[in-house]
């Protein structure tokens, strides 16, 4: 099953997040994604102005594991809780410093930070979805109590590794995690305060105070521990933002996977290019032999024919190279991206390809979902749209993933694709257009926004089912205005 989420990342980029489930019991898990970009003709995006390299420069992908799911109350409690795994790694490191205990200690620290972040976010989302005020109040109180419990237990771990045999570097990993969690608690607590403001809760004042106490405790704790990284109204807070970003990358690195890109059929391409060179050389040599036989070793016709054969030889070589290159692109993917763990164990691969596709070659079901109307046809000059097809095929080695990450239940992989639309803006008109309205016996000039619609039709396929989605990305010269989900359809029993 594939789970997707699309959002605006910034005014020039949208982000499509795809979640791939790792199927247990299967040797391999295979997913296929097809994304059709329907572009208005007046954007002047075509195979000549927008190349394969342009597309892949605009596309940025990240592959990472999904964070193991734990509800907030179970992070500390329970035999198999993340905290107990973290505490055990601290004890093992304190008793024996070796590569295995060090690696596990760092791994558990990072996993604990990721789980805390995910659990806090999920708990607040769960509160916001509640319609019963009593349930909301109980969940907010539970949030505050669980935060207090987590902080007390995490602080106790400091004493386990605060020993003479522990290096400063190893001890700093704990400090990084501790500071990261402090920032995460503070950020989520502010989100909860904003949520409480929108609700008419009976014990609103008491709930506010509980959350304020959590934030004040974290600020005080960081001050005591010489972590003077607080927001300041009179500063640009550059250091704070930078440090939080570094901590986020450090903690999150445990879930990100390494990738290595390669070009499929590179050997075949070089062989075919060699054949193209050979064919052109055969032609030139044949012309030289024929000319010498017919006109002799030294003659004006021989000189002319040899010159022409050299020109044609060069053109034949380039035309054959272009022909073979186009045929290879039709058969093979543009890139193959191998997916590895940090220990360089291969967990799967991803293949991707890009091309402009003619209207007659677009599958009927995709055209139906695109649902062209007369407004669309007028906008595009009654000559249709340009359509880009991006194909991404993912293969995961399910058994290997489950074997390697057996300490936590890894449900799947997130493939995060960010696409930059800056190249689509070059030919756009100004974002504001003047329009006029009547005002009694006079008129008034006002302004309206000039927008363009880029439609995305996405097809997700697994061995279980196929899902179709359509999104409308509304753009103007200033960037992305909004993204609308227009259509969803699911086909079962493939």
How do residues 281-321 score in pLDDT, each as one tens digit?
777 777 777 777 776 666 777 677 777 777 777 777 767 66
Question: 324 pLDDT exceeds 80?
Answer: no
Query: Whole-model pTM above 0.95?
Result: no
Separation of alpha carbons 228 and 221, rounded Å = 10
Look at the alpha carbons of 187, 189, 192, 193 in this order and tell me if their dihedral is positive or negative: negative
Q: What is the DSSP letter of 257?
A: P
Average pLDDT (217-227) is: 83
Average pLDDT (255-268) is: 67
What angle is formed at CA 301 by the lines to CA 299 and CA 304, rounded to 5 degrees? 110
- Cβ(307)–Cβ(291) below 8 Å: no
| pLDDT band with cut points at 50, 70 and 90 for residue 210 | very high
- Cβ(328)–Cβ(265) below 8 Å: yes
Question: 349 pLDDT exceeds 50?
Answer: yes
Range of lowest pLDDT (10-24, 49-63, 265-279, 332-346): 265-279
| pLDDT band with cut points at 50, 70 and 90 for residue 402 | confident
Q: For residue 375, what pLDDT is reported?
A: 52
Separation of alpha carbons 298 and 286, rounded Å = 17
Residue 43 token pair: 């954007």
Separation of alpha carbons 278 and 284, rounded Å = 10
| pLDDT band with cut points at 50, 70 and 90 for residue 273 | low
- Cβ(32)–Cβ(391) below 8 Å: yes
Which residues does 415 contact at the CB level (< 8 Å), separation at least 6? 17, 18, 19, 20, 61, 62, 63, 350, 392, 394
Q: For residue 264, what pLDDT is reported?
A: 55
Q: What is the DSSP letter of 7?
A: E
| pLDDT > 90: percent of the chain | 33
| pLDDT band with cut points at 50, 70 and 90 for residue 374 | very low
Q: For residue 376, what pLDDT is reported?
A: 53
Question: 474 pLDDT exceeds 90?
Answer: yes
The string of pLDDT tens digits covering residues 138-160 is: 999 999 999 999 999 998 999 99
The string of pLDDT tens digits covering residues 34-70 is: 999 999 888 889 988 998 889 999 998 888 888 888 9
Question: 381 pLDDT exceeds 50?
Answer: no
| pLDDT band with cut points at 50, 70 and 90 for residue 332 | low
Q: What is the DSSP letter of 235?
A: S
The string of pLDDT tens digits covering residues 76-85 is: 987 789 999 9
Q: For residue 492, what pLDDT is reported?
A: 64
- Cβ(158)–Cβ(174) below 8 Å: yes
Please give the backbone phi and psi of residue 367, each rounded to the nearest 5 degrees, phi first: -60, -40
- Cβ(45)–Cβ(448) below 8 Å: no
Which residues does 109 contact at the CB level (< 8 Å), separation at least 6? 86, 89, 173, 174, 176, 177, 251
Averaged pLDDT of the chain: 83
Q: For residue 123, what pLDDT is reported?
A: 95
271-275, 311-315, 474-478 — most confident range:
474-478
What angle is formed at CA 323 by the lines to CA 322 and CA 328, rounded to 5 degrees? 95
Q: For residue 209, what pLDDT is reported?
A: 92
Question: 366 pLDDT exceeds 50?
Answer: yes
């Amino acid at each position: 099953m594939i789970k997707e989420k699309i959002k605006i990342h910034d005014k020039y980029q949208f982000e499509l997040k795809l979640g791939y489930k790792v199927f247990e019991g299967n040797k391999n898990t295979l997913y296929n994604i097809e994304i059709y970009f329907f572009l208005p003709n007046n954007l002047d995006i075509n195979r000549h102005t927008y190349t394969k390299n342009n597309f892949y420069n605009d596309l940025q992908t990240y592959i990472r594991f999904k964070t193991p799911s734990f509800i907030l109350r179970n992070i500390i409690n329970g035999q198999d809780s993340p905290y107990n795994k973290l505490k055990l790694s601290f004890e093992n490191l304190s008793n024996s410093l070796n590569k295995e205990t060090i690696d596990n200690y760092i791994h558990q620290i990072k996993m604990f930070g990721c789980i805390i972040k995910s659990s806090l976010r999920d708990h607040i989302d769960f509160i916001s979805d509640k319609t019963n005020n009593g349930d909301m109040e109980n969940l907010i109180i539970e949030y505050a109590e669980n935060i207090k419990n987590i902080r007390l237990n995490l602080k106790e771990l400091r004493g386990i590794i605060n020993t003479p045999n522990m290096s400063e570097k190893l001890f700093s990993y704990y400090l990084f995690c501790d500071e990261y969690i402090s920032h995460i608690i503070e950020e989520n607590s502010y989100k909860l305060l904003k949520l409480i403001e929108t609700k008419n809760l009976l014990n609103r004042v008491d709930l506010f105070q509980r959350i304020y106490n959590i934030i004040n405790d974290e600020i005080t704790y960081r001050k005591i521990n010489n972590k003077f990284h607080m927001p300041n109204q009179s500063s640009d807070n550059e250091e704070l933002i930078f440090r939080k970003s570094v901590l986020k990358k450090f903690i999150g690195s445990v879930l990100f996977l390494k990738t290595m890109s390669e070009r499929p059929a590179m050997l075949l391409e070089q062989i075919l290019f060699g054949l193209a060179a050979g064919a052109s050389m055969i032609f030139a040599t044949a012309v030289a032999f024929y000319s010498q036989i017919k006109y002799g070793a030294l003659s004006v016709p021989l000189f002319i024919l040899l010159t022409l054969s050299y020109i044609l030889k060069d053109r034949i070589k380039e035309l054959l190279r272009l022909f073979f290159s186009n045929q290879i692109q039709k058969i093979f993917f543009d890139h193959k991206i191998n997916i590895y763990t940090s220990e360089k164990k291969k967990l799967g691969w991803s293949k991707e390809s890009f091309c402009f596709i003619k209207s007659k070659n677009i599958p009927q079901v995709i055209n139906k979902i695109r649902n062209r109307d007369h407004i669309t046809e007028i906008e595009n000059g009654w000559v249709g749209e340009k359509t880009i097809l991006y194909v991404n095929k993912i293969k995961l080695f399910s058994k290997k993933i489950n074997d390697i990450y057996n300490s936590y239940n890894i449900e799947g992989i997130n493939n995060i694709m960010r696409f930059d639309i800056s190249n689509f803006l070059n030919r756009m008109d100004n974002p504001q257009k003047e329009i006029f309205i009547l005002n009694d016996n006079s008129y008034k000039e006002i302004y309206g926004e000039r927008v363009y619609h880029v439609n995305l039709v996405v097809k997700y396929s697994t061995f279980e089912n196929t899902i179709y989605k359509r999104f409308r990305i509304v753009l103007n010269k200033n960037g992305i205005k909004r993204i609308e989900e227009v259509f969803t359809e699911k086909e079962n029993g493939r």
